[in-house]
Amino acid sequence: TCIVKLNEDGSVSVLTGATDIGQGSSTVVAQVVAEVLGLSLNDVTINAGVDTDFTPVDPGTYGSRVTFYSGNAAKMAAEDAKKQIVELASKIFKVSPEEIVLHDRRVFPKANPEKAWRMDALIRHSEHKMGKESKSIIGKASYDSGVDFIDFKTGKGNISPAYTFAADVVELEVDPETGRITVLNAVGAHDIGKALNPVLCAGQLDGAWIQAMGQVFFEELHRDKKDGHVLNPSFLDYKMPTSMDIPLNNTHIFVESIDPNGPFGAKEVGEGASVAIFPAIGNAVYDAIGVRITDLPVTAEKVLKAVKKKKEQEG
């Protein structure tokens, strides 16, 4: 659910329950609203998930679905507000609603842009100059994909109405003396629907790859076989990659398939990108040493043992 309120200065306040946890969802929601209303990104203020007393309901930030679900709700709410603006402007300009254009913080009839009203002037007119018909412009909308949401008890259902696809190629080298693996280059083609914000998309894809490589090369949980206690419960012993551990020259290719149900054709970009990098690295290691490592993480110790075992079998 999303609420879009037009303010007297022509700016917009957006209320959404979607919480930005670093992926840039607040930026994307603001972009969607600005695009619909013909405003700039600076005109939009996001109130996102800060207090459930006044932000509307949102199912949560997970499953690579915020842009799809909350973006759609924001687009529909902005369109609701736009419809009210258009109805007001059509009365002022005495033209049909189809002739009204919202662009660059202005509202005008398509055939006579020189007659434009500033958005702030139009909002003040709506709130103060129309007598009994005066009103604030507030758009509201809820989006439901229509899919049967997952039942966590049975594991059946669907988490999203749209899925991304990826194809990754990895070039790496393996030191036969130490077993150390160095990723030299990686190229990925990602079907993301439409890149609403290419910079954020690239950041999400970088993060997905780095996170995946942490699982491929470093992260491993050790438990006591008798009582199940975790034996490496701190980041001192549970290794994660730093910027020095991922010497990755990566290239991302956006495949913009334009999803018919996403906001302006967008789908998720992030978690889905990590899926193909696992087998790509595994296949590259196999190509380098001729042995498959079938469990994660792929450590130098496992590589050396696999190479040694192969030599013994061949010898």
| H or E stretch at 44 | strand 44-48
Q: What is the pLDDT of residue 248?
A: 66
User: Left, alpha or beta for 5 (phi > 0: left; psi -120 to 50: alpha)?
Assistant: beta
| H or E stretch at 302 | helix 300-314
Note the pLDDT tens digit of each residue in 101-123.
Answer: 999 999 999 999 999 999 999 99
Q: What is the dihedral of CA 37, 38, 41, 46, to 10 degrees?
A: -10
Whether 262 contacts 68, CB under 8 Å: yes
| H or E stretch at 188 | strand 181-191
Q: Which of the 8 DSSP states describes residue 223?
A: B
Token output for 302: 């496992």
Catalytic residues: 271
Question: Percentage of residues in the chain with pLDDT exceeding 70?
Answer: 99
Cis check for the bond before 260: say yes or no (omega within 30 of 0): no
Whether 85 contacts 101, CB under 8 Å: no
Q: Does residue 149 carry a pLDDT above 80?
A: no
Largest CA-CA distance found in the chain, in angstroms, rounded: 96
Q: Which residue has the higher pLDDT, 61 or 279?
A: 279
Q: For residue 61, what are the contacts with CB-CB under 8 A and spacing of at least 6?
A: 18, 19, 20, 21, 23, 25, 49
Note the pLDDT tens digit of each residue in 235-274.
Answer: 999 988 888 877 668 899 999 999 999 999 999 888 888 8
Q: Does residue 301 carry a pLDDT above 70?
A: yes
Q: Can you tell me whether residue 109 is helix, strand or coil?
A: strand
Note the pLDDT tens digit of each residue in 20-70.
Answer: 988 889 999 999 999 999 999 999 999 987 777 888 888 778 778 889 999
